[in-house]
Amino acid sequence: MDMRQIRAFLAVVDTGTVTRASELLHVVQPAVTRQIRLLEEELASALFLRTRQGMQLTEAGSLLVERARRALRELDIARAEIHPDEAGKLSGVVRLGLLPSSCDMVAGALLKAMVETFPRIRLSLSVDYSDPLLNALVIGEIDAALLYNPWPAGALDIEPLLTEPLSLVGLASQRFTEDTPVPLAALGQSPLILPGTHHRLRSLVEHACAVEGVEITVAAEAHALAVQKSLVVQGYGMTVLPRIAVRDELERCKLSAAPIDAPEFARTIALAQAAPFARQTSRQVRCTTQLLRECIHQIVLSGDWLGAEWIPHAPDPSRNIA
Protein backbone atom coordinates (compact mmCIF):
# COMPACT_ATOMS: atom_id res chain seq x y z
CA MET A 1 0.00 0.00 0.00
CA ASP A 2 1.43 3.38 -0.95
CA MET A 3 0.21 6.97 -0.94
CA ARG A 4 -0.69 6.92 -4.63
CA GLN A 5 -3.17 4.16 -3.93
CA ILE A 6 -4.60 6.02 -0.94
CA ARG A 7 -4.95 9.27 -2.90
CA ALA A 8 -6.62 7.46 -5.80
CA PHE A 9 -9.01 5.69 -3.40
CA LEU A 10 -10.04 8.92 -1.67
CA ALA A 11 -10.39 10.76 -4.96
CA VAL A 12 -12.87 8.15 -6.16
CA VAL A 13 -14.70 8.29 -2.82
CA ASP A 14 -15.01 12.06 -3.00
CA THR A 15 -15.95 12.33 -6.67
CA GLY A 16 -17.93 9.15 -7.17
CA THR A 17 -16.36 8.21 -10.49
CA VAL A 18 -12.98 7.24 -11.87
CA THR A 19 -13.33 9.89 -14.56
CA ARG A 20 -13.70 12.77 -12.13
CA ALA A 21 -11.08 11.29 -9.83
CA SER A 22 -8.57 11.26 -12.71
CA GLU A 23 -9.36 14.91 -13.43
CA LEU A 24 -8.88 15.78 -9.77
CA LEU A 25 -5.53 13.99 -9.61
CA HIS A 26 -4.42 15.15 -13.09
CA VAL A 27 -3.69 11.60 -14.24
CA VAL A 28 -5.24 9.35 -16.87
CA GLN A 29 -8.18 7.12 -15.95
CA PRO A 30 -6.30 3.81 -16.34
CA ALA A 31 -3.79 4.99 -13.74
CA VAL A 32 -6.55 5.56 -11.19
CA THR A 33 -8.15 2.21 -12.01
CA ARG A 34 -4.80 0.46 -11.61
CA GLN A 35 -4.13 2.03 -8.20
CA ILE A 36 -7.57 0.99 -6.95
CA ARG A 37 -7.06 -2.55 -8.26
CA LEU A 38 -3.66 -2.82 -6.56
CA LEU A 39 -5.13 -1.60 -3.29
CA GLU A 40 -8.00 -4.09 -3.50
CA GLU A 41 -5.57 -6.91 -4.28
CA GLU A 42 -3.39 -6.01 -1.31
CA LEU A 43 -6.39 -5.87 1.04
CA ALA A 44 -8.00 -8.92 -0.55
CA SER A 45 -11.30 -7.07 -0.53
CA ALA A 46 -13.41 -5.15 -3.01
CA LEU A 47 -13.58 -1.50 -2.00
CA PHE A 48 -16.20 -0.35 -4.50
CA LEU A 49 -19.33 -1.59 -6.18
CA ARG A 50 -19.25 -0.53 -9.84
CA THR A 51 -22.75 0.71 -10.72
CA ARG A 52 -24.30 2.86 -13.43
CA GLN A 53 -24.65 5.63 -10.86
CA GLY A 54 -20.93 5.53 -10.08
CA MET A 55 -18.58 3.93 -7.61
CA GLN A 56 -20.24 2.99 -4.32
CA LEU A 57 -18.26 1.97 -1.26
CA THR A 58 -18.47 -1.59 -0.01
CA GLU A 59 -18.40 -2.35 3.71
CA ALA A 60 -14.64 -2.80 3.48
CA GLY A 61 -14.30 0.49 1.63
CA SER A 62 -16.32 2.30 4.28
CA LEU A 63 -14.01 0.94 6.99
CA LEU A 64 -10.98 2.24 5.12
CA VAL A 65 -12.15 5.80 4.40
CA GLU A 66 -11.50 7.54 7.73
CA ARG A 67 -8.23 5.70 8.27
CA ALA A 68 -7.08 6.71 4.82
CA ARG A 69 -7.94 10.35 5.47
CA ARG A 70 -6.11 10.15 8.78
CA ALA A 71 -3.06 8.73 7.03
CA LEU A 72 -2.90 11.72 4.68
CA ARG A 73 -3.31 14.15 7.57
CA GLU A 74 -0.51 12.42 9.46
CA LEU A 75 1.69 12.66 6.37
CA ASP A 76 1.20 16.42 6.27
CA ILE A 77 2.15 16.62 9.95
CA ALA A 78 5.24 14.50 9.35
CA ARG A 79 6.34 16.75 6.49
CA ALA A 80 5.99 19.78 8.75
CA GLU A 81 8.01 18.03 11.48
CA ILE A 82 10.75 16.93 9.09
CA HIS A 83 10.97 20.34 7.43
CA PRO A 84 9.97 22.82 10.16
CA ASP A 85 11.56 25.69 8.28
CA GLU A 86 9.21 25.09 5.37
CA ALA A 87 6.22 25.06 7.75
CA GLY A 88 7.34 28.36 9.20
CA LYS A 89 7.48 29.87 5.73
CA LEU A 90 3.86 29.08 4.92
CA SER A 91 1.98 32.34 4.46
CA GLY A 92 -1.41 33.64 3.44
CA VAL A 93 -4.85 34.04 4.97
CA VAL A 94 -6.96 31.17 6.33
CA ARG A 95 -10.63 32.00 6.90
CA LEU A 96 -12.34 30.12 9.71
CA GLY A 97 -15.89 30.15 11.03
CA LEU A 98 -16.42 29.79 14.79
CA LEU A 99 -19.54 29.38 16.92
CA PRO A 100 -20.54 32.17 19.35
CA SER A 101 -20.76 29.83 22.36
CA SER A 102 -17.09 28.82 22.23
CA CYS A 103 -15.37 31.39 20.02
CA ASP A 104 -13.54 33.28 22.77
CA MET A 105 -11.90 30.18 24.18
CA VAL A 106 -11.11 28.55 20.82
CA ALA A 107 -9.88 31.72 19.10
CA GLY A 108 -7.35 32.54 21.79
CA ALA A 109 -5.91 29.04 21.96
CA LEU A 110 -5.72 28.74 18.19
CA LEU A 111 -4.07 32.14 17.65
CA LYS A 112 -1.41 31.31 20.25
CA ALA A 113 -0.66 28.01 18.51
CA MET A 114 -0.58 29.64 15.08
CA VAL A 115 1.85 32.36 16.18
CA GLU A 116 4.18 29.70 17.56
CA THR A 117 3.93 27.28 14.63
CA PHE A 118 2.89 29.17 11.49
CA PRO A 119 3.65 32.82 12.24
CA ARG A 120 3.21 33.93 8.64
CA ILE A 121 -0.32 32.55 8.27
CA ARG A 122 -2.94 35.15 9.17
CA LEU A 123 -6.29 34.07 10.59
CA SER A 124 -9.54 35.67 9.48
CA LEU A 125 -12.23 34.64 11.96
CA SER A 126 -15.99 34.85 11.40
CA VAL A 127 -18.36 34.22 14.30
CA ASP A 128 -21.94 33.20 13.57
CA TYR A 129 -24.51 30.50 14.11
CA SER A 130 -24.21 27.18 12.32
CA ASP A 131 -26.47 27.72 9.32
CA PRO A 132 -24.91 31.04 8.17
CA LEU A 133 -21.45 29.50 8.58
CA LEU A 134 -22.53 26.49 6.55
CA ASN A 135 -23.74 28.73 3.74
CA ALA A 136 -20.51 30.73 3.81
CA LEU A 137 -18.52 27.51 3.62
CA VAL A 138 -20.48 26.15 0.67
CA ILE A 139 -20.06 29.31 -1.43
CA GLY A 140 -16.36 29.62 -0.55
CA GLU A 141 -16.42 32.69 1.69
CA ILE A 142 -14.61 30.72 4.42
CA ASP A 143 -12.22 27.76 4.27
CA ALA A 144 -13.44 25.73 7.27
CA ALA A 145 -15.90 26.06 10.12
CA LEU A 146 -17.04 24.58 13.38
CA LEU A 147 -20.70 23.62 13.07
CA TYR A 148 -23.17 21.99 15.40
CA ASN A 149 -25.26 19.01 14.28
CA PRO A 150 -24.43 19.63 10.59
CA TRP A 151 -26.57 17.86 8.03
CA PRO A 152 -24.67 15.61 5.60
CA ALA A 153 -23.60 17.54 2.51
CA GLY A 154 -21.94 15.97 -0.50
CA ALA A 155 -19.68 18.95 -1.10
CA LEU A 156 -18.37 19.01 2.48
CA ASP A 157 -15.98 16.89 4.50
CA ILE A 158 -17.55 16.77 7.97
CA GLU A 159 -15.56 15.48 10.95
CA PRO A 160 -17.40 15.21 14.31
CA LEU A 161 -15.13 16.31 17.16
CA LEU A 162 -17.10 16.47 20.40
CA THR A 163 -20.51 16.27 22.02
CA GLU A 164 -21.91 18.60 24.65
CA PRO A 165 -25.22 18.66 26.55
CA LEU A 166 -27.64 21.56 26.35
CA SER A 167 -28.74 23.07 29.66
CA LEU A 168 -31.62 25.06 31.01
CA VAL A 169 -30.11 28.38 32.09
CA GLY A 170 -31.65 30.72 34.63
CA LEU A 171 -30.75 33.10 37.41
CA ALA A 172 -28.35 31.98 40.12
CA SER A 173 -31.25 32.18 42.58
CA GLN A 174 -32.91 29.27 40.75
CA ARG A 175 -30.00 27.11 41.92
CA PHE A 176 -29.68 24.89 38.87
CA THR A 177 -26.71 22.57 39.16
CA GLU A 178 -24.75 20.40 36.76
CA ASP A 179 -25.32 17.31 38.88
CA THR A 180 -29.12 17.59 38.91
CA PRO A 181 -30.78 17.35 35.48
CA VAL A 182 -34.16 18.99 35.09
CA PRO A 183 -37.13 17.41 33.29
CA LEU A 184 -38.28 18.75 29.95
CA ALA A 185 -41.38 20.10 31.71
CA ALA A 186 -39.17 22.70 33.44
CA LEU A 187 -39.00 24.62 30.15
CA GLY A 188 -42.67 25.49 30.59
CA GLN A 189 -42.29 26.92 34.08
CA SER A 190 -40.92 30.31 33.04
CA PRO A 191 -40.84 32.47 29.89
CA LEU A 192 -37.98 31.63 27.55
CA ILE A 193 -35.47 33.78 25.71
CA LEU A 194 -34.69 31.97 22.47
CA PRO A 195 -33.17 32.63 19.03
CA GLY A 196 -35.44 33.28 16.05
CA THR A 197 -37.55 30.61 14.41
CA HIS A 198 -34.90 29.95 11.74
CA HIS A 199 -32.40 28.77 14.36
CA ARG A 200 -31.99 25.03 14.98
CA LEU A 201 -32.00 25.48 18.75
CA ARG A 202 -35.41 27.14 18.58
CA SER A 203 -36.71 24.31 16.37
CA LEU A 204 -35.31 21.72 18.78
CA VAL A 205 -36.97 23.29 21.82
CA GLU A 206 -40.33 23.79 20.15
CA HIS A 207 -40.44 20.30 18.62
CA ALA A 208 -39.38 18.49 21.79
CA CYS A 209 -41.88 20.40 23.91
CA ALA A 210 -44.69 19.87 21.41
CA VAL A 211 -44.08 16.11 21.37
CA GLU A 212 -44.22 15.93 25.19
CA GLY A 213 -47.12 18.36 25.49
CA VAL A 214 -45.09 21.01 27.32
CA GLU A 215 -46.47 24.50 26.71
CA ILE A 216 -43.78 27.18 26.48
CA THR A 217 -43.90 30.96 26.32
CA VAL A 218 -41.26 32.82 24.32
CA ALA A 219 -40.74 36.16 26.04
CA ALA A 220 -38.31 37.46 23.43
CA GLU A 221 -36.30 36.39 20.40
CA ALA A 222 -32.62 37.23 20.62
CA HIS A 223 -30.55 36.99 17.46
CA ALA A 224 -27.24 37.45 19.29
CA LEU A 225 -25.85 35.30 22.08
CA ALA A 226 -24.84 38.31 24.16
CA VAL A 227 -28.40 39.68 24.09
CA GLN A 228 -29.83 36.25 24.87
CA LYS A 229 -27.67 35.96 27.99
CA SER A 230 -28.21 39.56 29.04
CA LEU A 231 -31.99 39.19 29.07
CA VAL A 232 -31.71 36.12 31.27
CA VAL A 233 -29.35 37.92 33.66
CA GLN A 234 -31.91 40.75 33.89
CA GLY A 235 -34.57 38.25 34.92
CA TYR A 236 -36.79 38.27 31.83
CA GLY A 237 -36.77 34.50 31.44
CA MET A 238 -34.71 31.34 31.06
CA THR A 239 -32.92 30.01 28.01
CA VAL A 240 -31.37 26.84 26.59
CA LEU A 241 -27.63 26.85 25.89
CA PRO A 242 -24.52 24.69 26.34
CA ARG A 243 -22.80 25.46 29.64
CA ILE A 244 -19.69 26.74 27.85
CA ALA A 245 -21.78 29.62 26.48
CA VAL A 246 -22.45 30.91 30.00
CA ARG A 247 -19.18 29.93 31.63
CA ASP A 248 -18.30 33.46 32.78
CA GLU A 249 -21.79 34.08 34.16
CA LEU A 250 -21.69 30.78 36.05
CA GLU A 251 -18.30 31.62 37.59
CA ARG A 252 -19.57 35.05 38.66
CA CYS A 253 -22.74 33.52 40.10
CA LYS A 254 -24.98 35.53 37.83
CA LEU A 255 -26.58 32.47 36.27
CA SER A 256 -27.04 28.79 37.02
CA ALA A 257 -27.49 25.88 34.61
CA ALA A 258 -28.70 22.30 34.68
CA PRO A 259 -28.69 19.69 31.91
CA ILE A 260 -32.09 18.88 30.43
CA ASP A 261 -33.08 15.27 31.01
CA ALA A 262 -33.95 14.44 27.40
CA PRO A 263 -31.61 12.72 24.94
CA GLU A 264 -32.28 15.17 22.12
CA PHE A 265 -30.87 18.04 24.19
CA ALA A 266 -27.27 17.44 23.21
CA ARG A 267 -25.31 18.58 20.22
CA THR A 268 -22.30 17.50 18.21
CA ILE A 269 -19.63 19.99 17.21
CA ALA A 270 -18.02 19.11 13.88
CA LEU A 271 -15.22 20.53 11.79
CA ALA A 272 -16.42 21.09 8.24
CA GLN A 273 -14.50 22.03 5.12
CA ALA A 274 -14.90 21.60 1.39
CA ALA A 275 -14.52 18.07 0.10
CA PRO A 276 -11.45 17.68 -2.14
CA PHE A 277 -13.50 17.24 -5.33
CA ALA A 278 -15.49 20.42 -4.61
CA ARG A 279 -12.60 22.76 -3.85
CA GLN A 280 -8.87 22.22 -3.54
CA THR A 281 -7.68 22.64 0.04
CA SER A 282 -4.38 24.44 0.48
CA ARG A 283 -1.63 23.25 2.78
CA GLN A 284 -2.18 26.41 4.83
CA VAL A 285 -5.78 25.39 5.49
CA ARG A 286 -4.84 21.78 6.27
CA CYS A 287 -2.18 22.84 8.77
CA THR A 288 -4.49 25.38 10.39
CA THR A 289 -7.37 22.94 10.79
CA GLN A 290 -5.00 20.37 12.28
CA LEU A 291 -3.92 22.90 14.90
CA LEU A 292 -7.59 23.73 15.49
CA ARG A 293 -8.30 20.05 16.21
CA GLU A 294 -5.38 19.92 18.62
CA CYS A 295 -6.47 23.05 20.46
CA ILE A 296 -10.05 21.84 20.86
CA HIS A 297 -8.86 18.42 21.98
CA GLN A 298 -6.68 19.95 24.69
CA ILE A 299 -9.50 22.24 25.86
CA VAL A 300 -11.84 19.26 26.19
CA LEU A 301 -9.22 17.18 28.02
CA SER A 302 -8.54 20.05 30.44
CA GLY A 303 -12.22 20.28 31.38
CA ASP A 304 -12.44 23.92 30.32
CA TRP A 305 -15.05 23.06 27.66
CA LEU A 306 -17.76 22.43 30.25
CA GLY A 307 -19.59 19.16 29.81
CA ALA A 308 -17.92 18.29 26.50
CA GLU A 309 -16.72 14.82 25.56
CA TRP A 310 -14.23 14.14 22.78
CA ILE A 311 -15.64 11.68 20.25
CA PRO A 312 -13.48 8.54 20.48
CA HIS A 313 -13.41 7.80 16.75
CA ALA A 314 -12.26 11.32 15.91
CA PRO A 315 -8.52 11.58 15.14
CA ASP A 316 -6.50 11.98 18.33
CA PRO A 317 -4.38 15.06 17.73
CA SER A 318 -1.93 14.50 20.57
CA ARG A 319 1.12 16.04 18.90
CA ASN A 320 1.85 19.59 18.01
CA ILE A 321 3.05 20.41 14.52
CA ALA A 322 6.70 21.29 14.79
Instruction: Note whether 168 and 260 are same-domain residues.
Output: yes
Instruction: Note whether 214 and 234 are same-domain residues.
Output: yes
- Statement: the pTM of the whole predicted model exceeds 0.75: no
Is 100 a domain residue?
yes
Instruction: Note whether 143 and 30 are same-domain residues.
Output: no
Q: Quick one: average pLDDT of 256-264? A: 95
Q: Quick one: average pLDDT of 124-148? A: 90
Average pLDDT, the chain: 87
Per mean pLDDT, which range of 81-95, 192-206, 270-284, 290-304 is the poorest? 81-95
Is 143 a domain residue?
yes
- List of residues 6+ apart from 49 with CB closer than 8 A: 55, 56, 57, 58
H or E, element range at 309: strand 309-310
* Residue 171 or 22, more confident: 171
Instruction: Note whether 198 and 143 are same-domain residues.
Output: no
Residue 83: what pLDDT? Answer: 63
- Checking if the pLDDT of 274 tops 70, the result is yes
d(CA 24, CA 15): 8
Residue span of the structural domain in which 29 resides: 3-70
Is 200 a domain residue?
yes
DSSP assigned state of 280: P
Residue 84: what pLDDT? Answer: 58
- Checking if the pLDDT of 315 tops 50, the result is no
Tell me the backbone φ, ψ of residue 141, rounded to 5 degrees.
Answer: -75, -25
Is 117 a domain residue?
yes
Residue 288: what pLDDT? Answer: 92
Instruction: Note whether 168 and 299 are same-domain residues.
Output: no
Last residue of a domain, one of 264, 279, 301: 264
* Residue 288 or 70, more confident: 288
Check: CB of residue 280 under 8 Å from CB of residue 26.
no
Residue 80: what pLDDT? Answer: 57
Total domains in the chain come to 3
Residue 189's CATH number: 3.40.190.290
Instruction: Note whether 205 and 233 are same-domain residues.
Output: yes
Residue 153: what pLDDT? Answer: 64
Instruction: Note whether 22 and 154 are same-domain residues.
Output: no
- Checking if the pLDDT of 180 tops 50, the result is yes
Is 77 a domain residue?
no
Is 129 a domain residue?
yes
Is 85 a domain residue?
no
Is 80 a domain residue?
no
Q: How many residues does the chain have?
A: 322
pLDDT tens digit sequence for 16-48: 889 888 887 888 999 999 999 999 999 999 999
Residue 147's CATH number: 3.40.190.10
Q: Which amino acid is at 159?
A: E
Per mean pLDDT, which range of 49-58, 100-109, 188-197, 270-279 is the poorest? 270-279
Geometric angle at alpha carbon 188, from 182 and 193, rounded to 5° = 95
Scored b (16 or more CB within 10 A) or e, 9-24 reads bbbbbbbbbbebbbeb
Instruction: Note whether 171 and 252 are same-domain residues.
Output: yes
- Checking if the pLDDT of 85 tops 70, the result is no
Check: CB of residue 100 under 8 Å from CB of residue 127.
yes
Closest CA to 98 of 139, 66, 145: 145
Instruction: Note whether 197 and 272 are same-domain residues.
Output: no
